[in-house]
Amino acid sequence: MTINVTKSWRIFLQKWGGNMHRNLLLTRSNIRKAKGQTVAIIVLVLLSSLMMNLWLMLSMDYRKNFERSHDKLNDGHINIATYAVSDDFTSFVSDMLENRSDITEYTVGEAFSAPISFEYNGGNLSQFGVIIEKENALSRKVGKMEITEDSDIKSGIYLPMIYGTGNNYKVGDTFKISIFDEEFEYTVCGFFNSAMIGSHNCSMVALLLTDDKMEELYDKYYPYSSAYISARVKFASECEEISAEIKGIIAEEYPDVMLTSNDYEMITTSRYVSQSICTGILSAMALLVLLICVVVITSNITNFIGENMQNLGALKAVGYTSGKIISSLLTQFVGITVIAAIVGITLSYGFFPPLNEMMIAQTGIPYSVRFQPLPLLLTLIFIAGIVLAAVYFSARKIKKIEPITAMRQGITTHNFKKNKFPFEKTSLSLNAALAMKSTFSNAKQNLTVCVTMLVVSLIAVFSATMFTNVITDVQPMVEMIVGEYSDSGINVELDSENRLISLLESDSRVEKFYLYTTNNMEVHHVGGSTLYVSVVDDCSKLNNQNRIIEGRYPKYDNEIAIAVKYAKDSGIKIGDEISVKADISEANYIVTGFSQETNYLGKDCVLTREGFEKIGTLPNATYYIDLVESVDVDGFNAGISEHIKSGLNTAENIKSLIDSASSVYIMLVKVIVAAIIMVSCIVIVFVMYLLVRTSLNRKKRDYGILKAIGFTTSKLVLQTAISFMPSVIISAAIGTAFSIPLINPLMALVLGGVGIVRGTFDAPVLLCLIAGGVLVIFTFGAVCLMSLRVKKIAPRELLTGE
């Protein structure tokens, strides 16, 4: 019995091995006869796998890097910076946190919290600063910080590592900082990382001073007192609600204390805006290139069957089954796909470091590039699976081929296809008529061209839109992402507000001014979440009227506009009445409009001054000021500071601040646009190469006959190029027309996680049409160049069978 089983297995393995050997021989033969096709498919799969692996690494591990950094530093889920605190404040907060069952651990430590400003990316950046003595920051139980770059300099300042990127600061530089509108200078000793307050994207930013410099600062502002609170909670998903409760308790006990806060949910999103943009674009590009690759493979298999009909009949006649022939095609294309995908994934690790540098310029979180097996496996499985399905369903028609029909080149007894261009009736020239006849006789070729051009047209329109709305004119991006903007922003104490208004009214340099106070002030939607509030005296004066995407700004004291993302998540509609609480007062407001911006990640609202004062008191007043053209903003702010003096808190150059903050995104968009244009050109070239090569091989005998009767190479090249143009032009026109209205929904899809629900970019119609025209011309030129192979076709060789 054992001998029989062993013999059966030996026979099975011999048969299987023989079948595999014949299968591989057939696969190798196919590849040798289609080297150009193999190279083109390799390039398309390589591009798709490269972008897909980058996308998966960014989306799966890059965001987790924040979690790793947060856990490593044991940072807080809730962080609150306070100033103007009393002596018993620390003990009160410690006791309160100690008695809360939802707080696992906390640290209430010394800090110097104050409004600060400093130069960054060529502009002036204003933030709420949390200045901590270096050794205290490194030894905090909760909210610890780590040095990422150190030096031998013993006295000075350590900056968040985000300010060491680009052409900003390096060790040994002089760092000038304005605290309470007074300038200080420190030597940069190094850089550090903090998960929760290591960037201006965190609503407050940490700075570390050496012991001697910290003592000098305390001595100068004695008895000024402040604190920095970090607390970890049991469930990170509840941090927003717990933070609101804690701040409410502090405000009730200490109504004069000023505070700024953030939480885990907010920071995980705000520090990864650029990552969201990159992953959205990379995923779209990877899938679009893969779609083109699948269409090309499908078209090539169809042409392979048509060109090799006799060979397929012969193979079937000598015993090859349809399954074996299909299996050889699967081995060929899936094998090429897997090899190309592995190369693409390998190359993605070469592209990741420069991409990582751009990401760090916005995230401010260190990231070490490392091998990630899960994105690799998902990329391989997905791409190989898609290609396998495409090959199998395209090659199934081999099963229907009968050997006798195949030996006759697949020609059946009759052909009832209509002649679309009878030469005796057409008014076109002979060359054009031949080209049109070729166009309408090859539906598969037209389909491939159409899919490619539709995809590339979308990319062209996207690039044109980004070019006009971000690169050449940053204003549309500012309106959609930043929210309100102006030339200058001046914050004063309430007792100095009338003096500021008088100065602005009498100054001829002022075009307009209006109250626009945010200062990270918060209100609580009863039964909902905490919202950041913008308080405005007259919403009609706001520069960014596009911030309201539905409805209108509030006019009266019982009206409110809220973020559209929060409204959709909470089921709020325009006209609904909601209850809002600030400090210890509560009032009802009618929702008049939905707003959007990324500053507060879709959790913000707008109230009139009268509306806000029903539930709270402004801690101070910020006025946004538009100046007449050519007025120096910094000079204007300096003049106002001289007049207001002690009543002024900050005087910000808003224009410079926006320019410096947006420079990171402009650089990112430039790189993305350049990269996708390059990828699009490569895709067009290789797709057209495959199609032209297939067309020349299929019509080699026809071209030989045409050459024999007097057609020159240039006429045949032009004829081939013209045969592609109808589908190229029509699909480019349709693609451009349909892509223009699609851009804003796509932008909303990419930026949905940071509060953008509706894109507000203006698609440049003329530039999009020009881009479409350039696309057609480029494709025509590429086809002409590739059609020069017709030069090698010699009528004599075709007749003699050489």
Render pLDDT for 463-477 as a digit per residue (tens, 0 to 9).
Answer: 888 888 888 887 888
Contact 479, 546 (CB under 8 A): yes
pLDDT at 423: 55
- Which H or E run contains 771? helix 765-786
Q: Give the number of residues written for the chain.
A: 802
417-431, 512-526, 594-608: lowest mean pLDDT where? 417-431
pLDDT at 142: 93
Interior CA angle at 603 toward 106 and 271, to 5°? 60
Structure tokens belonging to residue 66: 């924040």
Average pLDDT over residues 505-511: 91
Q: Give CA–CA dist 531/529, Å, rounded.
A: 6
Q: Which position has the token pair 């899919």?
A: 451
pLDDT at 12: 44
Pairing of strands 621-627, 559-563: unpaired
Please determine, for residue 186, whether its predicted confidence score (pLDDT) is greater than 70: yes
Note the pLDDT tens digit of each residue in 224-274: 778 899 999 998 888 888 888 888 888 888 877 788 888 888 888 777 777
Please determine, for residue 545, whether its predicted confidence score (pLDDT) is greater than 70: yes
Structure tokens belonging to residue 351: 């592209």
Contact 514, 536 (CB under 8 A): yes
Q: 565: exposed, middle or buried (C-beta count within 10 Å: 0-12, 13-18, 19+)?
A: buried
Q: Give CA–CA dist 330/30, Å, rounded.
A: 11
Q: Cα 436 from chain centroid?
A: 42
DSSP assignment letter at 442: -
Q: Which domains does the chain have, with CATH numbers?
A: 430-482+658-802 (no CATH), 483-657 (2.40.40.20)
CA proximity to 117, closest of 482, 752, 734, 648 = 648
Average pLDDT over residues 152-170: 89
pLDDT-based confidence at 573, cuts 50/70/90? very high
Q: How far is CA 61 from CA 53, 57, 94, 194, in A?
A: 11, 5, 36, 19
Q: Which position has the token pair 């909470």?
A: 570
Please determine, for residue 307, whether its predicted confidence score (pLDDT) is greater than 80: no
Average pLDDT over residues 522-544: 88
pTM above 0.85, yes or no: no
Pairing of strands 604-608, 530-536: parallel
Pairing of strands 226-233, 488-492: unpaired
Pairing of strands 182-193, 205-209: unpaired
pLDDT-based confidence at 165, cuts 50/70/90? confident
Please determine, for residue 442, whether its predicted confidence score (pLDDT) is greater than 80: no
Average pLDDT over residues 174-190: 89
Contact 40, 687 (CB under 8 A): yes
Please determine, for residue 443, whether its predicted confidence score (pLDDT) is greater than 80: no
Note the pLDDT tens digit of each residue in 712-727: 888 888 888 888 888 8
More confident residue, 447 or 16: 447
pLDDT at 408: 56
Percentage of residues in the chain with pLDDT exceeding 70?
Answer: 86
- Which H or E run contains 789? none
pLDDT at 15: 46
Q: Give CA–CA dist 197/176, Å, rounded.
A: 20
Instruction: Please state, as a whole number, how many other Cβ atoms lie within 10 Å of the Cβ of residue 32.
Output: 9
pLDDT at 207: 94
pLDDT at 456: 87
pLDDT-based confidence at 13, cuts 50/70/90? very low
Percentage of residues in the chain with pLDDT exceeding 90?
Answer: 25
Mean pLDDT of the chain: 82
Please determine, for residue 535, whether its predicted confidence score (pLDDT) is greater than 90: yes
Structure tokens belonging to residue 112: 């110097």
Note the pLDDT tens digit of each residue in 731-757: 999 999 988 988 888 888 777 766 677
DSSP assignment letter at 556: S
33-37, 377-381, 585-589: lowest mean pLDDT where? 33-37
Contact 524, 580 (CB under 8 A): yes
Q: What is the DSSP string of 301-346?
A: HHHHHHHTHHHHHHHHHTT--HHHHHHHHHHHHHHHHHHHHHHHHH
Integer Rg of the chain from CA? 34
